[in-house]
Chain A
Amino acid sequence: MTDLNKLTIAEARDLLHKGDVTAVELTESCLSAIEGSNALNAFVHNTPEISREQAKAADVRLKSGDAPAMCGIPLGIKDLFCTKGVLSQAGSAILEGFKPEYESTITRQLWDNGAVMLGKLNMDEFAMGSSNETSTYGDVVNPWRRGNDDAPLTPGGSSGGSAAAVAADLCLGATGTDTGGSIRQPAAFTGITGIKPTYGRCSRWGVVAFASSLDQAGPMTKSVRDAAIMLEAMAGHDPLDSTSADLPVPNFEAALTGDIKGKKIGIPKEYRMDGMPAEIEKLWEDGTAMLKDAGAEIVDISLPHTKYALPAYYVIAPAEASSNLARYDGVRYGHRATLAAGEGIDDMYEKTRAEGFGHEVQRRVMVGTYVLSAGFYDAYYNRARRVRTLIKRDFEQVFADGVDAILTPATPSAAFGLGEMADADPVQMYLNDVFTVTVNLAGLPGITVPAGLDKQGLPLGLQLIGRPWEEGDLLNVAYTLEQAAGFVSKPSKWW
């Protein structure tokens, strides 16, 4: 069988369990695909020895007849996840050479389930970015292009390497993380599925922290079914993360019935932005019609504080980042600046952080420092946290009125060109997350599914937002939308 790397997780699982393919064959197929993918710059640390060993072990387990769904499935891991003995740099020069002595809870659970690690995936530095242009490893290139135009496009960010790798069939699925849209926006830009679960569903232990009250990991996959299968393996209570929820993890795949009759789908009027491209508006209307045809009841809803989500986010996230990133001081791990004679410890801190952090990270750390500084804490940080309470209340009100899920566009545009935003002010780049960031502020689950192509042939996604802890229901609505949209396009291989 050829092109095993193009399989979905569900297809590969069925073939592996029937004994029609082996985990070793599947892994080799992905390793060859990765070898030929340098132009994408998605994989930045390859781990072929580890993957071959894990694949062999998976085959033994599969033969014994007692293997979980993820057994033998080759995955890419975002560089933000600490993987024992394997470089984990969060896309930053300040963590140059960092090989953790421990394994993140999520990756440990995946390996315990028999999954195979192909390597680490490129990302925006410390997950701060929407275009994968802030990475110390250089830009990731989207496998999609505008028709015959060979201008390189962004895969989105921060999980741009994960998105590009899945879209280009370098792996069957990948881990991502999402603080303001970092799973859902790149998934939409590359025509794949990505889910950010409810805050607390997946352990944050061993995942390099950006903004701890917003960060949440999730799977990035080729289908909604795959997202359900992989999320189940990633989720669960972890005593090592005090914000991890002690709730049972349901069988998410079993929730995919395709029956959404009588479900109430909310369409928030505040997401209809001025200047929204007609194609996005059309896609949203089409998606609404598909859910209606499937038997859902469509209701107009209002989330009045939507407009204030991005400004609140750009206080809260930098504030938390400035605190979290204080640990990179050149003492315990990573880069330390060379000091001149007579320079002291403050020089060491300041030079180390100036050399190790890229421009966007420095800017956010400093903005965070400013909004937390004496005299401004109340005006900025506390006010933003109050607004966050109101944003969450908007959603609670809508759910209390019986809405099951909310349908919105995933992004305000299709993928843009690498370098196109270089001269824009930082706020322009932040607007990429305008539809996704509310979900992080409210701690809710959100998923994007590819729903169509724009006139240049680039994928566009729709987002569904669910009730807290009801990822199963949310995945089922997404599955129904996926079936109705029938998105099957793939980027043509140029790399």
Chain B
Amino acid sequence: MSIDKETAARVAHLARIRVKDEDLPALAEEFNAILGFIEQLNEVDVEGVEPMTSVTPQRLKRRKDVVTDGNQQASILANAPDAREGFFAVPKVVE
């Protein structure tokens, strides 16, 4: 499996990271080096082996479905790059 410039561009877009056109070939090459390393996994016989979901065998705890938190608008907005009138402000998303 070899990643070309177009695939690198598609992955960058999926990850929402802007990559300059001239940087794409080098990025594709790095991906190929890493994926080449990962390819070793194909040597392993994984027939009938379950993919790990939890490294320690434990059950998730249950709790009562009640409100335990809230009324922290100021705290929640405190670090926002742009907060207005109690909301996070972003560029227009709906035409």
Interface residues of A (CB under 8 A from B): 97-101, 198-200, 213, 239, 242-243, 245-246, 305, 307-308, 310-312, 314-315, 322, 326, 329-336, 339, 343-351, 353-354, 357, 362-363, 365-371, 373, 380, 382-390, 392, 425-427, 430, 441-443, 468
Contacts and interface: CB of A to CB of B under 8 A. Distances in A.
A331 B80 contact: yes
A242 B60 CA distance: 6
Contact of A198 (B16, B41, B56, B75): B56
Nearest to B8: A366
Contacts of A426: 30, 33-34
A97 B41 CA distance: 41
Contacts of A307: 40
B90 A331 contact: yes
Which of A99, A326, A367 has the most chain B CB atoms closer than 10 A to its own CB? Answer: A367
Contacts of A390: 44, 46, 49
A429 B54 CA distance: 28
B56 A199 contact: yes
6 contacts: A332-B80, A353-B16, A354-B19, A369-B15, A384-B41, A442-B55
A422 to B, nearest CB: 14
B61 A366 contact: no
Given A98-B79, A386-B50, A311 B40 contact: yes
A245 B58 contact: yes
Contacts of B91: 339, 343-345, 347-348
A366 B81 contact: no
B79 A333 contact: yes
Given A314-B38, A336-B82, A387-B44, A365 B55 contact: no
A330 B16 contact: no
Nearest to B46: A386
Contacts of B67: none
Contacts of B17: 350, 353-354, 357, 362, 365-366
A366 B14 CA distance: 8
Contacts of A305: 44
A329 B44 contact: no
Contacts of A348: 90-91
The 6 closest A-B pairs by CB, nearest first: A385-B51, A443-B55, A336-B81, A333-B79, A386-B46, A350-B18
B56 A245 contact: yes
B21 to A, nearest CB: 13
Interface range on chain B (Cβ under 8 Å from partner): 35 or more
A411 B43 CA distance: 25
Contact of B37 (A97, A335, A427): A427
A443 B63 CA distance: 25
A333 B75 CA distance: 11
Interface string B2-16: 010000100111111
Given A245-B56, A333-B81, A350-B13, 9 more contacts: A100-B79, A246-B61, A315-B41, A344-B91, A363-B30, A373-B11, A385-B51, A386-B44, A386-B46
Contacts of A97: 79
B15 A387 contact: no
A311 B15 contact: no
Contacts of B44: 305, 308, 383, 386-387, 390
B58 to A, nearest CB: 7
B50 to A, nearest CB: 6
A344 B13 CA distance: 15
Nearest to B36: A427
Interface in B56-71: 56, 58, 60-61, 63
A24 B78 CA distance: 33
Contacts of B42: 383
Given A246-B61, A335-B81, A386-B51, A370 B11 contact: yes
A97 to B, nearest CB: 8
Given A99-B79, A383-B41, A353 B34 contact: no
Nearest to A369: B15
A389 B72 CA distance: 42
A67 B19 CA distance: 54
Contacts of B81: 330-331, 333-336
Contacts of A362: 15, 17, 19
A331 B33 CA distance: 34
B90 A314 contact: no
B61 A239 contact: yes
B49 A386 contact: yes
A241 to B, nearest CB: 10
B41 A332 contact: no
A367 B58 contact: no
Contact of B56 (A200, A367, A368): A200
Contact of B79 (A199, A332, A382, A442): A332
Contacts of B33: 425-427
Contacts of A441: 55
A382 B38 CA distance: 13
B19 to A, nearest CB: 7
A98 B78 CA distance: 9
A383 B15 contact: no
B9 to A, nearest CB: 11
B84 interface: no
